[in-house]
């Protein structure tokens, strides 16, 4: 019996059509893409070889089917190929994606954690886009602190060599990927590309820290990290999907380590004082020492330390984080 969804004999088929067909054949017949298929499909998209209608169908079918680890790994493979790299190698301790789009966020307190950690001698690359967040973007927060984003990967490498920290917007790292994320304006929904860019690790860091908005994404995210052979990655359900610790309640952190596997770490609540959120600058300068926002920054430093330092326990991480925060320069 002839499959009605197979290409008609003698009719030339677009090279991208098979990928849409695999994903969209219907219940019991569709399937996730293999790692190689996902890589090849996204390569076509990023190279401009797929039509706009095909791209929209592809992204929404990926979303509708749900995230698959091998498929995600293939999407990351193609995404990494699309990233610009610095001309000279740049050693990175911590990869820190920032692609959150939460509707209840205020300021990116995790940025203060990254800056303090960089002053302690760690080398950190933060990359991303906050285009769909109603809160303050990393770009705007840096400007408020008298700092700036990196203009390109070479500029990012230079900033890291000088200060230990750089924020590289996705638009400067991989413009084609940035355009794909921006399709949310037309489609109204995120796609698994949002997860793939979180796993980019464009400078090959020795550890990573990341956040998700929905807990169901955690398993696929960590399984993809294992397929990608990431050295260490800590993942949390964070506010707006960012790698940020809420100090008001206990937090479960999911740690993946190459050759060891994954385990859970339970981080305690830090019991901060509530109230009206102070400005980012006031928190950075130490003018709001007993607020939830200061506790968020310190708690997030601890989270990053757990990613960076094998064998460190949560209590020791909290103590070390408080020392790093107290020693920061502003």
pLDDT at residue 254 in the model: 97
Measure the CA–CA gap between 226 and 223, rounded to whole angstroms: 5
Measure the CA–CA gap between 172 and 124, rounded to whole angstroms: 17
Taking the CB of residue 91, how many other CB atoms lie within 10 A of it? 12
Q: What is the pLDDT of residues 7-22, one digit of tens each?
A: 665 567 999 999 999 9
Q: What ranges do the domains of the chain cover?
A: 17-81, 94-326
Q: What is the pLDDT of residues 63-82, one digit of tens each?
A: 999 999 999 999 999 999 99
Q: Where are the alpha helices (DSSP H) in the chain?
A: 17-24, 35-47, 52-65, 69-81, 109-119, 138-144, 153-163, 170-173, 175-182, 184-187, 193-198, 217-227, 280-285, 292-308, 314-326
Global pTM reads 0.94
Task: Report residue 1's pLDDT band, with 50, 70 and 90 as the boundaries.
Answer: very low
* CATH number of the structural domain 17-81: 1.20.970.10
CATH architecture entry for 94-326: 3-Layer(aba) Sandwich (3.40)
In 3D space, the residue among 281, 197, 267, 204 whose CA is nearest the CA of residue 238 turns out to be 267
Measure the CA–CA gap between 283 and 327, rounded to whole angstroms: 14
């Amino acid at each position: 019996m002839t499959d009605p969804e197979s290409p008609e004999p003698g009719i030339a088929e677009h090279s991208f059509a098979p990928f849409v067909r695999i994903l969209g054949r219907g219940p019991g017949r569709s399937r996730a893409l293999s790692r190689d298929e996902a890589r090849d499909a996204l390569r076509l998209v990023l190279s401009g070889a797929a039509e706009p209608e095909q791209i929209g169908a592809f992204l929404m079918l990926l979303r509708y089917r749900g995230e698959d680890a091998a498929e995600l790994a293939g999407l990351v493979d193609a995404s990494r190929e699309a990233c610009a790299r610095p001309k000279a190698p740049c050693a990175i301790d911590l990869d820190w994606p920032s692609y959150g789009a939460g509707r209840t966020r205020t300021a990116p307190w995790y940025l203060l954690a990254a800056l303090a950690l960089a002053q302690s001698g760690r080398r950190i690359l933060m990359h991303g886009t906050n285009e769909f967040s109603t809160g303050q973007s990393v770009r705007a927060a840096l400007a408020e602190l008298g700092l700036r984003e990196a203009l390109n990967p070479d500029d990012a490498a230079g900033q890291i060599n000088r200060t230990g920290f750089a924020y590289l917007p996705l638009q400067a790292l991989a413009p084609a990927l940035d355009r794909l994320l921006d399709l949310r304006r037309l489609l109204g929904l995120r796609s698994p590309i949002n997860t793939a860019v979180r796993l980019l690790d464009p400078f090959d860091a020795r550890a990573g820290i990341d956040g998700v908005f929905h807990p169901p994404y955690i398993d696929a995210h960590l399984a993809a990290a294992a397929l990608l052979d990431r050295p260490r990655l800590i993942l949390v359900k964070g506010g707006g999907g960012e790698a940020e610790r809420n100090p008001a309640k206990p937090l479960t952190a999911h740690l993946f380590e190459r050759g060891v596997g994954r385990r859970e770490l339970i981080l305690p609540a830090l019991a901060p004082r509530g109230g009206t959120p102070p400005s980012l600058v006031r928190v950075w300068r130490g003018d709001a020492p007993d607020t939830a926002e200061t506790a968020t920054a310190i708690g997030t430093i601890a989270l990053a330390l757990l990613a960076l330092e094998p064998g460190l326990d949560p209590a020791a991480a909290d103590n070390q984080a408080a020392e790093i925060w107290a020693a920061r320069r502003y």
